[in-house]
Structures are given as structure tokens and as C-alpha cells.
Amino acid sequence: MDEFIRRIVFVLENEMKRSEIMNALELNHRENFISNYLEPAMLKGYIEQTHPENPKHRNQKYRLTKKGLEIKKNVIDQLC
């Protein structure tokens, strides 16, 4: 698995805004975050939007899918 995806899955808790995820990852460049972290994780089915019908919704948040939760558990297990 891509290290970028592993990192975003690891820090994502419940539902988080893009800015909250970026802060947790200590990232500042929005475009870099979207292209290297957010979009690949969504395309591979690890995270999903809370408002998929309107991607630019002002209250848009992201959460782990079932697949993402399984990967997060595996990452945590590897660290222990």
C-alpha cells in the first residue's frame, strides 16, 4: 500500500474536515494533499465523503470506509 494512503488512513478519526486531516498530517499545501493523499485514498475505496453528491459542500467531511477501517486495524497491529 502507498505510504500516503497508509498515513491518511492512520490519522482519520470518525468524520474529519480536509483541513483537520491536513493538520493531523502536518501538511500545508492543499493541492499536494488532494492529489497525493485524498484522491488516491478515495479512488481505492479507503475513505469516502460525507456529502458525495456535492464534493464542494461547505460541511464536507471524510470518513473511513469498511475497507479503510480494516487497513487501519492492520496498520495499528503492525505497530504493536
pLDDT at 76: 83
The domain locations on the chain are 3-79
3-79: CATH number:
1.10.10.10
The predicted-structure confidence for 7-43, as pLDDT tens digits, reads as follows 999 999 999 999 999 999 999 999 999 999 999 999 9
Q: How much is the pTM? A: 0.90
CB of 5 closer than 8 Å to CB of 40: yes
Which H or E element spans position 49? strand 47-49
Q: How confident is the model at residue 73 (pLDDT cuts 50, 70, 90)?
A: very high
| SS3 state of residue 66 | helix
